Structure 1
């Protein structure tokens, strides 16, 4: 009972009421409530709590094991139809039949097992590849276990763990600070406030207006900007304050256009079969006066018309794409996202780390007139080198540039006396140095406005002059010009006349001499421009959505080739209604100073215009836009909620990887569409052929077992489709699901194959003498051979817009599978193997007719293909 009460209490720790309550408890009482101690949990207690509370992750829903995925592979509409037919066949051929015949039911079950097995195997292969790569993604935390500091994965932290935090660490859950020294947290993900807030260990005085204002509470989703702290976890995973908010972002998306399209075609083909099969049954029953044979034939036709390989082709093609992308260090979390890549024609991306190297480079060091001056670099170097705190990216950039300029020897002539650390109120930091002669100086660097506020003098051309308003105005014009040009600017100042004491404080930062500015830039990646060009060549327009300033964004975008003829800021977006924004996004490629909600609006505006949109981001503030997008893309270094929301996770943050994904997506999309068009047109043509045969022939054109074996052979031949290549012209542009295109293709190509089937009937009837029931086995054999070969030819004729075999060759797996099936069909028809299937061996006299029919079909389909492309401008 006690354990259940503790668990119930823990489950509500992330609520506002509970957090306020925990914030007010004395440390001893708090640790007692959490069943912990100042030295942390024991390893055994942590393990027990992990079993109790589960891993420290924000989940979007339950994951399913292999058995569930196997059942999912079985339970697709086509398999269910085949299983129903198998049951009916078993009843008629085995249960209620004097002659037990397991063959038909066995073949049908074999088709189900083939489709299910391949779908399941390919899916598991993809899941395994993703799981292996996922193990490379981990976040660590320093925690006290058994009184010792150990580094563990964040997902094994539990309530009551005492964690040690320092600058750069993420806060691994909702925490209460036990000690804190200059601890500043960035909570922008929760509050939207860009400035970090300071946290303390003391109990709050008075009531905070918002729970996020509690000074001794830290939240999952925030990170340490500076300082250090020791804190105890109050809640983890979904029980955190942030976890409760994140659930709305991690819900399932609605099916995309491709998935909806596949569902609609599946329903169409099943309805088509359910209507036509009874018609064929009735016609054959009336014309042949053998209702049992008509029934068995109708059942076999139903099996032949069921595109049971569609789920297998889809899952195999998508899984192959996932495995291929895994080789490029890309985790595919959602298989259907691969084909969405193929549809994508707009990629929205942030700037930092995608277009840029996500590092800071010192670009300029200048005096107040904007002239390069190495004296400013020397002072900045001394400030950065001698500070004892965490050297941030700015400090490292200064030190690296100084080393490039050969200034590293300067440090040997100075010693540090004291420093005045950076804080977010003063927004500057200072060091006090003494040289070998005993002369002291204070060197300060920081935000331009804050440095100006403590300066009384300015240095121009080696001369020190009073800092008048006129001089300050002139200097600020230089600063603003550089800032508009995309440089992040800070100022450097110094003071020589210092007291002889060893301790200094913020009050000593006065009457400084302003020296000049240093400008920084996050340099563009070398691959960014090439990647944007490559994406554009594939019909994907890149739109940059950033929260950064317009000047910085423009500077980067200019260098990587983003079109800047039209651009919008967050303020512009805020002033537009949805209609105006939808119009504006068609020409705009740079959106700067955007809030998370505005990013989401921009993505929605693109979608409203009919675009398929991908969004690449790594911050919590990117999650709403990623969730809105058709495909969300993140990186392994992203925050957990961004990775949870994403469909694709890159282990390398590079647009060129996305270009490879686009190619893979279009190849995947194309191969699935190939099969759908083959199945739709083939089924329509077969219906016409079988209806004609049922009306005019005195016997069945094929026996049920022949249809089933032919179907099995053709299914095997199509196994190679997922591995087929696509024509380069197809890869160049985005393709969307178009049901009308599939219906049009079916109506054009279906009757074409029927014409050659009817021509075959005529040849067998008049040229080969198979015109009576006694010669029906010969007729069946001719139909079996040509029916199989013609479906093989359909694969090759439809797979490319070009001339097959010459201008565009099938991939080796597809060539092997279709070649092997063709050889088997010929062997069955022209050798003694035919007798084992109740077929009459075809004489060699039929071979020229067979060649003529096959060549005629190839020529006719190529001519129709050209006319079709000229008329509708597409093929696949």
Structure 2
């Protein structure tokens, strides 16, 4: 893909937006016949053959503008990096010193350096490819679908298969899969905040209530990819897909960087610290070696090589590989990661906010009771509820399905033949009710409404008791509420039913018509608690995760269910209570309250925000339209594969099974992933700090370089290979028992302990090579360098196993097989190179066998001292990693 920057890029984006806007404006003002002709479609939609031809022409309905995750881009990132640039610079200088200016040209060093470039680039690219393949495979396990008319039938297709000319059906919760022109609407409200930043949804219409001066996003009959249906229903004609959409034209400007997580900020802080230390050290080492040895070119190459070794260039590879490995492992537990970076937040989570239905309950709502206002069973109430649920065209939820199933069981399904739907007023979360207007065969109209009890009582002016319609006064209201509260306290989810016959003869109906209703009765539902919920909540608690329930359901039902599954119900706050609190009061309340009931979507979001303000890392689990704001606000949004589109699109993590037990397994895997990344960072930070001290000491006291650039770079590459098994390492059970947060101070204190310790044993190695082995003159510099090469490589391999666990390595905590293999192989290579003729290939001398016992001694000393330091550190700071 061609990348354009600066002014040219800005001009291209403006042109694409202008072209898209011009086309959409033209479509907005066309009559329907003209519109269908313009896109070569018809009111019945496309045939399967036409859809295939158009997909060949227009491609998949996927945004690819600004896409950088291509094999070519990954190859470029693997090859063009600071490490390889410095290697090429060193190879160029070496070419002039060893070939051009030398009496006998020597190509060995250059060949080794070029081999290092190829090898490191290949490893980085293959790891990137594997990580990307894993992410792609996981993304295909979840998909959003849409209903479209194909071959005269309404069928379900993948959003990516939508093509221009399709007629699609939309209802509350659906994402708009493309730019569309609305053909029919019913109280259709669309959230366009992704495009406009407006928090309030806007109403859409099918007729041309447009003005040519309107901003494009204000055009009334056009919908845009990236927005979603908040309430109502609609049919629409697809005008543009993929990059041809208005959203596609803006993709490069809308794809700004997300706010960094605490983990990303911590990694950046440590990387920045190491880079700053390297930048300070580079000139110091260069000047010391230049003045002391008089070989300024060699001093420059040595200081640059040291800088390469101190730069945490493997961090991106290790992080990506570890996160990808974690994502694949989590998928085995039916947890799909949409954004790799959310794995760490998942492991860090210490508060899980969750909806009640389907998570703590069986998600199979059964209609238990249908009663009049005296609490007596009344089949007429069921029939009215059935007519409302059957004739509504919006999203049929579990309550609608339970009503329809019970009516069918009772043999009432034939009553629908006596009515026709005139109109409807869809459900929304502010009204918490929905209405249908029906006409019988005589033409008589009737408005039937069902909804939350308090809201229904609020719009009712009358009650029907014993066949009589009476005014709603304090006595009748209290009588109705007493029946509701009795069954609600018993754990039934209660819905009120009301109707009226005084309905206008013509014209569209709206919310204003929902008044002066006659309250006639209630229907009660049972959603039994899951048997696994109590055990899952206890397991999460044992792993340091507090479960908090945020539900739109009533207090009685919420308290009954939560009490059975082990959620603390001693303190219960309702949406009304939350509304009265200011932010400070709410932050104080969330410290003790685990159950919030009758919450609106905005109130759920506010409660999540309060937990975050109180210092918690919050996960939110939900699957409905009303959960989208809270999912977006949470540190990690969790949804399920059966959720509405907007919930899945907002979530970071998708569960293939709606069960808290599945979630607990994912949390543990997230902590394992975080642990393996922290291991590498602490190892890199402390090792680099120790190397700086060692190099400074050697540069001051030795009459030659302690290691040549090619030797340093070879050692650096070997150590990188040893660390390649880190993403696959096991993590101690004790580590995953509580949430883990990123702490930069912990890294610095770790460096202060482990860094100088490694330097002490480096200096011991120098002393042995100088006084015992006798490599104490310029002619024997290659022998000295060989000794430090072997010790430095093997000790860095050893420290991997020391740092990876708070226990005694190998005995109390065993590494994973991949890590064991990668470290053992590197140690073997270091010994083979140092004690054989291979040493000559990188300008070293083979070590004598007499060095072996001394090497074993200082390695054993390093192991024992590291173990003692580990114990002291853990005792002082309370933790090791």
- Both proteins in one fold, TM over 0.5: yes
Q: Relative to 1, partners in 2 of residues 1:84 and 1:337: Cα closer, same or farther, differing over 3 Å?
A: farther
Corresponding residue to 1:141 among 137, 142, 147:
147
Q: Relative to 1, partners in 2 of residues 1:845 and 1:65: Cα closer, same or farther, differing over 3 Å?
A: closer
Q: Aligned partners of 1:786, 1:97: CA distance in 2, in Å?
A: 32
Matched residue of 1:126: which SS?
Answer: helix
Q: Aligned partners of 2:403, 2:61: CA distance in 1, in Å?
A: 38
Q: Aligned partners of 1:246, 1:623: CA distance in 2, in Å?
A: 22
Structure 1 contact 684–751 (Cα < 8 Å) conserved: yes
Moved more, 557-566 or 33-42: 33-42
Which residue of structure 2 aligns with residue 584 of structure 1? 589
Task: Kindly state the Cα deviation for residue 87 of structure 1 after the two structures are TM-superposed.
Answer: 4.8
Corresponding residue to 1:693 among 686, 690, 698:
698
Which residue of structure 2 aligns with residue 418 of structure 1? 418
Q: Aligned partners of 1:623, 1:246: CA distance in 2, in Å?
A: 22
Task: Kindly state the Cα deviation for residue 675 of structure 1 after the two structures are TM-superposed.
Answer: 1.5
Task: Kindly state the Cα deviation for residue 600 of structure 1 after the two structures are TM-superposed.
Answer: 3.7
Which residue of structure 2 aligns with residue 741 of structure 1? 746
Corresponding residue to 1:130 among 132, 135, 139:
135
Task: Kindly state the Cα deviation for residue 814 of structure 1 after the two structures are TM-superposed.
Answer: 1.0
Matched residue of 1:614: which SS?
Answer: strand
Corresponding residue to 1:11 among 15, 21, 32:
21
Q: Aligned partners of 2:219, 2:848: CA distance in 1, in Å?
A: 92
Which residue of structure 2 aligns with residue 798 of structure 1? 803
Q: Which TM-score applies when normalising by structure 2?
A: 0.78
Q: Aligned partners of 1:691, 1:872: CA distance in 2, in Å?
A: 29
1:656-675 alignment runs, 5 A limit:
656-675=661-680
1:462-473 alignment runs, 5 A limit:
473=478
Structure 2 contact 322–728 (Cα < 8 Å) conserved: yes
Q: Aligned partners of 2:747, 2:19: CA distance in 1, in Å?
A: 57
Q: Relative to 1, partners in 2 of residues 1:210 and 1:379: Cα closer, same or farther, differing over 3 Å?
A: farther
Task: Kindly state the Cα deviation for residue 303 of structure 1 after the two structures are TM-superposed.
Answer: 3.5
CA deviation string 1:769-817 (max 9, x = no partner): 3334454444333323322221121111111111111111111111111
CA deviation string 1:174-193 (max 9, x = no partner): 7666578xx67676899999
Task: Kindly state the Cα deviation for residue 851 of structure 1 after the two structures are TM-superposed.
Answer: 2.2
Task: Kindly state the Cα deviation for residue 723 of structure 1 after the two structures are TM-superposed.
Answer: 1.0
Q: Relative to 1, partners in 2 of residues 1:114 and 1:39: Cα closer, same or farther, differing over 3 Å?
A: same
2:318 maps to 1:310: no
CA deviation string 1:562-603 (max 9, x = no partner): 333444444444444433333333333334444444444433
Which residue of structure 1 aligns with residue 268 of structure 2? 263
2:715 maps to 1:710: yes
Q: Relative to 1, partners in 2 of residues 1:773 and 1:79: Cα closer, same or farther, differing over 3 Å?
A: closer
Task: Kindly state the Cα deviation for residue 359 of structure 1 after the two structures are TM-superposed.
Answer: 3.5
Larger Rg: 1
Structure 1 contact 377–402 (Cα < 8 Å) conserved: no
Task: Kindly state the Cα deviation for residue 395 of structure 1 after the two structures are TM-superposed.
Answer: 5.8
Moved more, 244-253 or 345-354: 244-253
Structure 1 contact 158–236 (Cα < 8 Å) conserved: yes
Q: Relative to 1, partners in 2 of residues 1:452 and 1:11: Cα closer, same or farther, differing over 3 Å?
A: closer
1:692-841 alignment runs, 5 A limit:
692-831=697-836, 833-834=838-839, 837-841=842-846
Matched residue of 1:266: which SS?
Answer: helix
1:264-279 alignment runs, 5 A limit:
264-279=269-284
Q: Aligned partners of 2:697, 2:812: CA distance in 1, in Å?
A: 36
Q: Aligned partners of 1:387, 1:727: CA distance in 2, in Å?
A: 53
Task: Kindly state the Cα deviation for residue 300 of structure 1 after the two structures are TM-superposed.
Answer: 3.6
1:595-634 alignment runs, 5 A limit:
595-634=600-639
- Flag structure 2 segments of 5+ consecutive residues without an equivalent: 1-14, 426-433, 500-516
Task: Kindly state the Cα deviation for residue 758 of structure 1 after the two structures are TM-superposed.
Answer: 1.9
Q: Aligned partners of 2:596, 2:252: CA distance in 1, in Å?
A: 28
Task: Kindly state the Cα deviation for residue 59 of structure 1 after the two structures are TM-superposed.
Answer: 8.6
- Flag structure 1 segments of 5+ consecutive residues without an equivalent: 434-441, 495-511
Q: Aligned partners of 2:520, 2:580: CA distance in 1, in Å?
A: 41
Corresponding residue to 1:532 among 530, 537, 542:
537
Matched residue of 1:728: which SS?
Answer: coil
Structure 2 contact 388–435 (Cα < 8 Å) conserved: no
Moved more, 631-640 or 738-747: 631-640
Which residue of structure 1 aligns with residue 430 of structure 2? none
Task: Kindly state the Cα deviation for residue 866 of structure 1 after the two structures are TM-superposed.
Answer: 0.9
Q: Relative to 1, partners in 2 of residues 1:289 and 1:715: Cα closer, same or farther, differing over 3 Å?
A: same
Task: Kindly state the Cα deviation for residue 720 of structure 1 after the two structures are TM-superposed.
Answer: 1.0
Matched residue of 2:703: which SS?
Answer: coil
Structure 2 contact 638–653 (Cα < 8 Å) conserved: yes
Moved more, 136-145 or 734-743: 136-145
CA deviation string 1:485-541 (max 9, x = no partner): 6533246899xxxxxxxxxxxxxxxxx999974411344444433333333222233
Structure 2 contact 45–167 (Cα < 8 Å) conserved: yes
Structure 2 contact 372–521 (Cα < 8 Å) conserved: yes
Which residue of structure 1 aligns with residue 257 of structure 2? 252
Which residue of structure 2 aligns with residue 520 of structure 1? 525
Task: Kindly state the Cα deviation for residue 864 of structure 1 after the two structures are TM-superposed.
Answer: 1.0
Which residue of structure 2 aligns with residue 458 of structure 1? 466
Matched residue of 1:543: which SS?
Answer: strand
Structure 1 contact 634–642 (Cα < 8 Å) conserved: yes
Q: Relative to 1, partners in 2 of residues 1:647 and 1:394: Cα closer, same or farther, differing over 3 Å?
A: closer
Which residue of structure 1 aligns with residue 870 of structure 2? 865
2:367 maps to 1:362: yes
Matched residue of 2:466: which SS?
Answer: strand
Corresponding residue to 2:566 among 558, 561, 564:
561
The number of aligned residues is 825
Q: Aligned partners of 1:186, 1:61: CA distance in 2, in Å?
A: 30
CA deviation string 1:855-876 (max 9, x = no partner): 2111111111111111112221
Q: Relative to 1, partners in 2 of residues 1:846 and 1:235: Cα closer, same or farther, differing over 3 Å?
A: closer
Which residue of structure 2 aligns with residue 501 of structure 1? none
Q: Aligned partners of 2:413, 2:241: CA distance in 1, in Å?
A: 51
Structure 2 contact 373–464 (Cα < 8 Å) conserved: no
Structure 1 contact 277–301 (Cα < 8 Å) conserved: yes
CA deviation string 1:106-157 (max 9, x = no partner): 5445445444433433333233233334334141323256x77765434443
Task: Kindly state the Cα deviation for residue 677 of structure 1 after the two structures are TM-superposed.
Answer: 1.6
2:551 maps to 1:541: no
Task: Kindly state the Cα deviation for residue 340 of structure 1 after the two structures are TM-superposed.
Answer: 2.5
Q: Which TM-score applies when normalising by structure 1?
A: 0.78
Q: Aligned partners of 2:250, 2:590: CA distance in 1, in Å?
A: 30
Matched residue of 1:779: which SS?
Answer: helix
Q: Aligned partners of 1:577, 1:60: CA distance in 2, in Å?
A: 43
Matched residue of 2:790: which SS?
Answer: helix
Corresponding residue to 1:343 among 332, 344, 348:
348
Structure 1 contact 666–734 (Cα < 8 Å) conserved: yes
Q: Aligned partners of 2:374, 2:586: CA distance in 1, in Å?
A: 41
Structure 1 contact 78–308 (Cα < 8 Å) conserved: yes
Q: Aligned partners of 1:605, 1:112: CA distance in 2, in Å?
A: 50
Moved more, 749-758 or 119-128: 119-128
Q: Aligned partners of 1:513, 1:582: CA distance in 2, in Å?
A: 41
Task: Kindly state the Cα deviation for residue 210 of structure 1 after the two structures are TM-superposed.
Answer: 14
